[in-house]
A and B are shown apart, each in its own frame.
Chain A
Amino acid sequence: AQSVTQPDIHITVSEGASLELRCNYSYGATPYLFWYVQSPGQGLQLLLKYFSGDTLVQGIKGFEAEFKRSQSSFNLRKPSVHWSDAAEYFCAGLYNQGGKLIFGQGTELSVKP
């Protein structure tokens, strides 16, 4: 079955440290891939998306993600985390256009001062 997995439920990093959030998708056809961020009590905001082409994707708020077909991964990175980045992050995949967006379980990010 098509699926998206985020192996880390909760991650804590220090402010100013680098960040990498993991996302794996079930192999087979490569889905369109998305990263969303959700602040407490808020809706989902798109950080970036990958459809094809350049495997390193730049997004908003200084985030980037790298698509690696060999590892079925689409990890989200940020070189220096700010306290305002504390939120929940969701990876999602779309396996066919017009179809259903499949979400990972989410990773909650805490930032230590």
Chain B
Amino acid sequence: DAGITQSPRHKVTETGTPVTLRCHQTENHRYMYWYRQDPGHGLRLIHYSYGVKDTDKGEVSDGYSVSRSKTEDFLLTLESATSSQTSVYFCAVQRGGKDYGYTFGSGTRLTVV
């Protein structure tokens, strides 16, 4: 949607394994975000980036790390996956200018068994 691609769309992984989710954008947006969605909690911010190699923590960052080595890619890594990280993960970009707002990717459904 609007140039944002998340991969993979679905993943099942085992507890204790590392997992990396990818968000790719084609519109050169500066700000990118990772959210997780859980029932009863809405979407909660994990990490965000305000430029290449510039990242910061959100409200639920424990157990997650991110990297942004180029403008178009924002990677989310679960260092050692736990069952509590089973969730749907959304990437978003902030659009500037007249159409100011946010665009979300289609999500990655991650199951940790």
Contact = CB atoms under 8 A, between A and B. Distances in A.
A22 to B, nearest CB: 14
Given A43-B1, A98-B94, A103 B43 contact: yes
B22 interface: no
Interface string B44-62: 1100101000000010000
Contact of B102 (A51, A101, A104): A101
Interface residues of B, number: 23
A39 to B, nearest CB: 12
Top 10 closest pairs, chain A to chain B, by CB: A103-B42, A103-B43, A44-B104, A43-B106, A105-B42, A106-B42, A43-B104, A100-B45, A104-B42, A43-B107
Interface of A: 6, 9, 32, 34, 36, 42-44, 46, 49, 51, 90, 92, 98, 100-106
24 contacts: A34-B101, A36-B104, A43-B104, A43-B105, A43-B106, A43-B107, A44-B43, A44-B90, A46-B101, A46-B102, A51-B100, A98-B50, A98-B94, A100-B33, A100-B45, A101-B33, A101-B102, A103-B35, A103-B42, A103-B43, A103-B44, A105-B40, A105-B42, A106-B42
